[in-house]
Structure 1
Amino acid sequence: MIDRPAYLDQIRPFIGKNIIKVLVGARRSGKSTLLQLIANQLRAEGVPERNMLHLNFESDSCAGLTDAASLSVYVHDRVANADGKVRLFLDEIQEVDHWEKAVRSFMVDYDADIYLTGSNARMLSSDLATYITGRYVTIDVYPFSFAEFLDAYRTSAGDIDERAAFRRYVTQGGFPFLTDLSFNEQASEQYLNDLFATILFKDVVRHAGIRDADALERVIRYVLAEEGHLITLANIAAYMKSEHRKITSDTIAGYLNAAAKAFLIYRVPREDAIGKRTLKVNEKYYVVDQGLRQAIGLNNANAIDQVLEGIVCMELKRRGYDVQVGKVGDKEVDFIARKGGDVEYYQVTYLTGSQQTIDREFGAFAGLDDNWPKTVLSMDEFPQTRDGIRGENIIDWLLGR
C-alpha cells in the first residue's frame, strides 16, 4: 500500500469531526486506499475495530445493500455494540439508491465520523447539496503525480533514473494499480484499456443514461486525440459527420459533461487574460491520466507537446489551482493558474530548441503587465530565463525542486 501523505494532510483536520469527508475522483485513482490509510491511522490511535465499519458497494459482500433502507438496517445492526464514536467508511456510495437519506440519518442517529468515496460527481454534488448542505467537505483524488509514481516505481520495481521513469510516466500514467503489475508495460496497457472501458460504460453511460454508447466513445476518443487543442462543439460535430454519424451539438455537450462528471476528462475554459472574462467559444479538454490515452491507441510520444501539457494541467489541479487557458490579444497562454488570491502563468513545450520556439513561448506573455510569476516549462536540460520569465525543466517542476 503506497502512502499518500499529501491527501492525508488534507483529510487530517477533519478526522473525528461531525462533518462528512467526501473523496471524489476517477475510478481506481486511489480513493479506497486512502480510506484504508485513514482506518490504519485510527487503529494506531487506539480506535477499536468494533467502532469501524468499512463497506465497498462494488464488492459482492455488499450486493444486497442496494438502497437506503437496506443500508440503514445493515449499519444499525453492525454498530449496535460500538463504544463511542462510530467510524463509517462507505466506498463508491453512488451505487446505493437514495444513499443520501441513509447518510443523513447516520449523522442524526449516531455519534458518527463518516467517510464517503464516489466516482461520479453528478450524483454526489447534487445529492449532497440537497440533503446535507454545509455538512461535508470534498477532497479531490487523482492518480499518482510524477513524484508519487517515482516513489512507487522505486519501491516496486527497483531504482530507476528520473528521466527513464518520466518516459514511463508519459506512456503508462499514474493509476496506482500499476504497482501491483510491477509496471509491466503489456499488462499495464491491457489494464488501462479495460479501465477506460469501465469508466466509459459504467460511470458515464449508466449514470448519465446515455443510449448511444458507440457515439459517446467516438466523441471521447476524438477529444483525447485533440487533447490540449482548442476545440468547439462544431468541430466535434463535423468530425462525427465525417464518420457518417449525425449528432447535435447539444448531445455532444451532454456527452462531454457526463465524461467530466465521471472524472474521465477535465474541461479547461478559455479566458481573456487582459479583460478577465471567460470566453464562450473554444476550450480545451485533458484526460485525467495520460496512460489511458496511450492504452486506447493514441501514441503519446507522437503527441508529446499535447501530453506534457496534460501532465502539467493535472499537476496544477493536484496542487489546488483553478486553471484556465489564457487569451492575450492574438496569442495564447497555456495556463492561468489561480489559488487564493495568487496567480501564476505557464507555457508548456517539449523543447525550446529553435529561436522561433523560444520567441513564441516567451512571447506568449507579452501584454501581461502584472507582476505574477510567469514560467516556460520544457524538457530542456538547461532552461533559460528571459525578460524576467523563468524557464524550468518539467521534471524538476513536477518534483517540486
Structure 2
Amino acid sequence: MINRPTYLEQIKPYIGKHIIKVLIGARRTGKSTLLKLLKEHLASQGASMENTLHLSFDSNELAAIQTGEDLAKYVSDNVDSSKPIRLFLDEIQEVDGWERALRSFLVDYDADIYITGSNAHVLSSDLATFITGRYVTIEVFPLSFKEFMPAYLNSNSGATSQQAFRAFAIQGGFPFQQELDFNQDASLHYLEDLFSTILLKDVVQRNSIRDVDALERIVRYAIAEEGHLLTTKNISDYFRSERRKVTAETTSNYLNAAEKAYMLYKVSREDAVGKKMLAFNEKYYVVDQGLRQALGMNNVANIDQVLEGIVCIELLRRGYKVTVGKVENAEVDFIARKGDKTEYYQVTYLAADAHTRDREFGALEKIHDSYPKTVLSLDEYPYSRNGIQGANLIDWLLK
C-alpha cells in the first residue's frame, strides 16, 4: 500500500471522537486503502481492535445487507454494546437508508465511526438531513505527484523524476497502477474501464439518467475542453451542430451529476481586481489526467491543458478554494484561497520566449496587491520578474 500521511494527519484530530469521519471522493482514489492504513495506525498506537467492524459494501460477502435496518441488525449482532465500538464502513452509499442506521449508532453506542462514499449528492444531502453537525468530511483525491513518484521509482529502477512526471502526466495518479507496475498500456486500459464504472454506478444509476449516450458525450466533451471557458449553451450548441438535440438544462444537469461523482470539478470565474464573481463561462477539470489519455485524448499534445489540470487538482488537494481570474482583457489561471491566504497562479509548459512571458507575467502584473504571485512551468531555470516568482512545476508539486 502507498502511504498517504497527509490524509492521516487530517483524520487524526477526530480519532476517537463522537463524530462521523466521512472520506469522500471518486471511486478507486484510495479511500478503502486509507481505512486500512488508519486501522494500522490505530493498532501501532496501542488502540484495541476488539469490538471493531470493517464492512465493505462493494463485497458480495455483504450482499445481504441491503437496507439501513439490515446494517443496524448486523452491527447489533456483532458488537458488544456495553463497550466502545469502532466502525469502518466502506462505500456506504450502496446501502439504502444507511443514514438512519448511522444516526442510531451515534445514539445507541459509544461509537467511533469512519465511512467512505463516492457520490457527493447522496452523502451531503442525507448527512445534512439526518446527522447535522455530527460529521466531518475529508476529500480523497488520486495520488499527488509527491505520492506517485516514490512508488513509480520503486517499480521502475533507474528512472528519473522527470520520467516519473511524464508517466504521471500521461497515466495520472489512480493508486491501482502500482499493482500493474505502472505499465502504461495496462494502466490506461484499467482507467478506461474505471471511467465507465464511475459513469454507470455513480452518475447514471444514482441520477436515473436515461440518455446514457448523451451523458457520456457531454462528459467527454467537458474533459476534452478542460481548462477552456465553457457555458452549457455552448455545449448544447456544439451538439446541435453534430445533429444531436441536447438542451442547455440537460447539459447542466449531466455536468452537475458528473461533479457529484467527483469526476469533474467546476471552477467559477471572478473579477480578480473587483473580487466579484462572474455569472458566465466556467472551467471544468477532470479529477485525474490519466482519464483524458484513457479516453483517447493526447496528453502530450495537449500538455498545457494537462498541466493546468494537474495544478488545479493539486490546489484542491491542498485545501484551497479555487477560482479563475479575469483582469481587464487577461486571464489568471487560478486564484487560490485558504483561510486568510490568497495566492495567484499562472501555468504554462515553458516560459522561455518573450511572448509567453509577457502573456503569463503580464496578467499577474495587472493585479496590484501584495499576495504571492507565481508562474509555474517546466523550465529548469524558471524566469521571474517584477516580484512575480517563476517556479518549476515539478519542484512545486514536491513541496
TM-score past 0.5 threshold: yes
- Greater mean deviation of Cα atoms: 49-58 or 291-300: 49-58
Q: For 1:152 and 1:261, how far apart are their aligned partners in 2?
A: 29
Determine whether 1:316 maps to 2:289.
no
Report if aligned partners of 1:51, 1:83 keep a CA contact under 8 Å in 2.
no
Amino acid at match of 1:148: E
Match of 2:330 in 1: 331
Q: For 1:158 and 1:18, how far apart are their aligned partners in 2?
A: 45
Q: For 1:386 and 1:229, how far apart are their aligned partners in 2?
A: 27
Q: Deviations over 1:313-355 (max 9, x none)?
A: 0000111000000000111000000000110000000011221
Q: Deviations over 1:221-244 (max 9, x none)?
A: 111110000111111111211222
Question: Aligned in 2, Cα 1:44/1:84: closer, same or farther, shift over 3 Å?
Answer: farther
Q: For 2:84 and 2:3, how far apart are their aligned partners in 1?
A: 25
Alignment of 1:149-164 (within 5 A): 149-164=148-163
Match of 1:7 in 2: 7
Determine whether 1:50 maps to 2:50.
yes
Determine whether 1:140 maps to 2:131.
no
Match of 1:381 in 2: 380
Shift, 1:83, TM fit: 6.8
- SS where residue 160 of structure 1 aligns? coil
Q: For 1:395 and 1:75, how far apart are their aligned partners in 2?
A: 47
- Normalization by structure 1: what TM-score? 0.98
Match of 2:224 in 1: 225
Amino acid at match of 2:84: K
Q: For 2:208 and 2:271, how far apart are their aligned partners in 1?
A: 35
Question: Aligned in 2, Cα 1:159/1:318: closer, same or farther, shift over 3 Å?
Answer: farther
Q: For 2:386 and 2:42, how far apart are their aligned partners in 1?
A: 51
Q: Deviations over 1:34-86 (max 9, x none)?
A: 00011112222333433210011111011111111111000110113x67321
- SS where residue 300 of structure 2 aligns? helix
Q: For 2:82 and 2:294, how far apart are their aligned partners in 1?
A: 48
Q: For 1:157 and 1:381, how far apart are their aligned partners in 2?
A: 23
Amino acid at match of 1:357: T
Match of 2:272 in 1: 273
Report if aligned partners of 2:332, 2:345 keep a CA contact under 8 Å in 1.
yes
Amino acid at match of 1:33: T
Determine whether 1:264 maps to 2:263.
yes
Q: For 1:397 and 1:191, how far apart are their aligned partners in 2?
A: 29
Shift, 1:394, TM fit: 0.4
Q: For 1:93 and 1:102, how far apart are their aligned partners in 2?
A: 11
Report if aligned partners of 1:153, 1:159 keep a CA contact under 8 Å in 2.
no
Match of 1:35 in 2: 35
Q: Which runs of 5+ in 1 are unaligned?
A: none
Amino acid at match of 1:56: S
- SS where residue 108 of structure 1 aligns? helix
- Greater mean deviation of Cα atoms: 153-162 or 143-152: 153-162
Alignment of 1:76-225 (within 5 A): 76-80=76-80, 84-225=83-224
- Greater mean deviation of Cα atoms: 330-339 or 159-168: 159-168
Amino acid at match of 1:248: T
Q: For 1:134 and 1:205, how far apart are their aligned partners in 2?
A: 30
- SS where residue 89 of structure 1 aligns? strand
- SS where residue 273 of structure 2 aligns? coil
Report if aligned partners of 2:351, 2:383 keep a CA contact under 8 Å in 1.
no
Question: Aligned in 2, Cα 1:271/1:151: closer, same or farther, shift over 3 Å?
Answer: same
- SS where residue 300 of structure 1 aligns? coil
- SS where residue 53 of structure 2 aligns? strand
Identity between Structure 1 and Structure 2 (%): 62
Q: Deviations over 1:266-317 (max 9, x none)?
A: 0000001111111110010000000011001001011100000000000001
Determine whether 1:283 maps to 2:282.
yes
Shift, 1:159, TM fit: 4.3
Q: For 2:188 and 2:164, how far apart are their aligned partners in 1?
A: 16
Determine whether 1:358 maps to 2:372.
no
Shift, 1:155, TM fit: 2.9
Q: Which runs of 5+ in 2 are unaligned?
A: none
- SS where residue 369 of structure 2 aligns? coil
- SS where residue 380 of structure 2 aligns? coil
Aligned residues: 399
Q: For 1:23 and 1:68, how far apart are their aligned partners in 2?
A: 19
Q: For 2:327 and 2:181, how far apart are their aligned partners in 1?
A: 45
Report if aligned partners of 1:269, 1:324 keep a CA contact under 8 Å in 2.
yes
Shift, 1:200, TM fit: 0.7
Shift, 1:208, TM fit: 1.1
Q: For 1:108 and 1:195, how far apart are their aligned partners in 2?
A: 38
Q: For 1:122 and 1:93, how far apart are their aligned partners in 2?
A: 13
Report if aligned partners of 1:85, 1:111 keep a CA contact under 8 Å in 2.
yes
Determine whether 1:20 maps to 2:20.
yes
Q: For 1:43 and 1:52, how far apart are their aligned partners in 2?
A: 12
Amino acid at match of 1:346: Y
Amino acid at match of 1:100: E
Q: For 2:83 and 2:179, how far apart are their aligned partners in 1?
A: 37
Report if aligned partners of 1:345, 1:374 keep a CA contact under 8 Å in 2.
yes
Amino acid at match of 1:118: G
Q: Deviations over 1:143-165 (max 9, x none)?
A: 00001000111233334211110
Report if aligned partners of 1:378, 1:392 keep a CA contact under 8 Å in 2.
yes
Q: For 2:239 and 2:309, how far apart are their aligned partners in 1?
A: 24
Q: For 2:199 and 2:242, how far apart are their aligned partners in 1?
A: 20
